[in-house]
Amino acid sequence: MAKFGPAHFLAPAAAFTMAITVVFYVRYTIRTTRLEAQVRREEELERTHAVNSKMS
């Protein structure tokens, strides 16, 4: 029967750590992208209102 040692758990632990890291990175990236898009939309609305008020 094969003996189980610390080396047998290293690869699964590394894979789990990488998976968790990817999940956090993706969530952070999506959140950041959404916030940046919201800021850009608000800036564009402000510019549109400024141009429209100058025309009136």
pLDDT at 1 over 70: no
Q: What are 27-46's pLDDT values in tens digits?
A: 999 999 999 999 999 999 99
pLDDT at 56 over 70: no
Q: What's the CA gap between 21 and 26, in Å, rounded?
A: 9
Residue 21, CA distances (Å) to 5, 11, 16, 25, 36 in order: 25, 15, 9, 6, 22
Q: Which two tokens stand for residue 50?
A: 């400024």
Which pLDDT belongs to residue 46? 92
Which pLDDT belongs to residue 53? 84
Q: What are 2-24's pLDDT values in tens digits?
A: 788 888 899 999 999 999 999 99
The one-letter amino acid at 37: A
The whole-model pTM stands at 0.70
